[in-house]
């Protein structure tokens, strides 16, 4: 399995960009899964369930390894998914302003031909900066928050919403790369690149956790 055929079950441009950093060819398919939490469902359980559901939603491609991921923001135990509209996006950003929260992502590998599956969960602790009301208005008007959990992109060049981050940076972007690498290695997949080095060069973020994740 040194050169597997990969399929990313996501329409997210951010996830495609991050997956390309591995240096392996892949295809993309859209997984139509309702991202709705169940009553009292913990954030980690939600992202695990949804990432697995997304992987199974594209199993019409049998001779392939499916990669699926789901990401949510949790504030005081409440799950913040993607905002339904600009009003909800602004409300989320007001609630998050100057406060810590946790970002959860689950990445799932699925080999449809055998039914073999593997899921890994990443948690990152994030504190937002005290951005202004005007900055919220401008950012929401850009439309950028509408397809993002918690209504923000950590990497947005104009908004820069995050003051402090502890954990995997790409988890907050939407695909925890080292967790994905750990899963692929467990399946014997050989990667042609030093992913932590490539990731840090791409994001500009100095990572302090990759050695722990990939130990």
Q: Is pLDDT at 4 greater than 80 in this prediction? A: no
Q: What is the CATH number of domain 6-213?
A: 3.90.950.10
Residue pair 173/129 in contact by the 8 Å Cβ criterion? no
Give the pLDDT of residue 61: 72
Q: What is the pLDDT of residue 2?
A: 54
Looking at residues 27-49, what average pLDDT do you find?
94
pLDDT score, position 105: 97
Is a pLDDT exceeding 70 seen at residue 23?
yes
Q: How would residue 163 be classed by pLDDT, with cut points 50, 70 and 90?
A: very high
pLDDT bin (cut points 50, 70, 90) of residue 190 is: confident
Q: For residue 200, what pLDDT is reported?
A: 98
Q: Mean pLDDT across the stretch 94-103?
A: 98
Q: Name the token pair of 69.
A: 């991921």
- The segment with the largest mean pLDDT, out of 10-14, 57-61, 132-136, is 132-136
Give the confidence band of 3 by pLDDT, cuts at 50, 70, 90. Answer: low
- Euclidean distance between CA atoms 11 and 188, whole angstroms: 26
Region 175-184: what's the mean pLDDT?
98
**70 is known as an active-site residue:** yes
C-alpha of 204 from chain center: 17
Backbone angles phi, psi at 118, to 5 degrees: -150, 135
SS (H, E, C) the chain: CCCCCEEEECCCHHHHHHHHCCCCCEEEECCCCCCCCCCCCCHHHHHHHHHHHHHHCCCCCCCCEEEEEEEEEEECCEEECCCCCHHHHHHHHHHHCCCEEEEEEEEEEEECCCCEEEEEEEEEEEEECCCCHHHHHHHHHCCHHHHCHHHCCCCCCCCCCEEEEECCHHHHHCCCHHHHHHHHHHCCCCCCCCHHHHHHHHHCCCCCCHHHHCC
Mean pLDDT of the region 85-100: 98
Q: Does residue 59 contact residue 66 with C-beta atoms inside 8 Å?
A: yes
Stretch 5-28: mean pLDDT: 95
Return the domain boundaries, the chain. 6-213
pLDDT value of position 63: 81
Q: Is the pLDDT of residue 1 over 70?
A: no
What's the mean pLDDT in 93-116? Answer: 96
From the candidates 63, 70, 85, 120, which is the catalytic residue?
70
The angle formed by the CA atoms of residues 50, 195 and 115, to the nearest 5 degrees, is 40
pLDDT above 70 for 62: yes
């Amino acid at each position: 399995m040194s050169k597997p055929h990969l399929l990313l079950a996501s329409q997210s441009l951010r996830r495609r960009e991050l997956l390309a950093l591995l240096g392996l060819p892949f295809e993309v398919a859209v997984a139509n899964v309702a991202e709705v939490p169940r009553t009292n469902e913990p954030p980690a359980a939600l992202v695990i369930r949804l990432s697995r559901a997304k992987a199974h939603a594209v199993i019409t491609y049998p001779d392939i390894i499916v990669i699926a991921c789901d990401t949510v923001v949790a504030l005081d135990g409440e799950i913040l998914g993607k905002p339904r509209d600009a009003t909800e996006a602004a409300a989320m950003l007001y609630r998050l302003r100057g406060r810590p929260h946790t970002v959860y992502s689950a990445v799932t590998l699925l080999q449809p031909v055998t039914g073999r599956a593997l899921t890994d969960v990443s948690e990152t602790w994030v504190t937002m900066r005290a951005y202004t009301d005007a900055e919220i208005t401008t950012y929401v008007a850009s439309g950028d928050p509408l397809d993002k959990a918690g209504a923000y992109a950590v990497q947005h060049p104009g908004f820069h919403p995050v003051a402090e981050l502890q954990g995997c940076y790409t988890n907050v972007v939407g695909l925890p790369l080292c967790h994905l690498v750990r899963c692929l290695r467990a399946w014997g997949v050989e990667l042609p690149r030093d992913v932590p080095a490539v990731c840090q060069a791409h994001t500009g973020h100095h990572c302090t956790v990759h050695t722990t994740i990939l130990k």
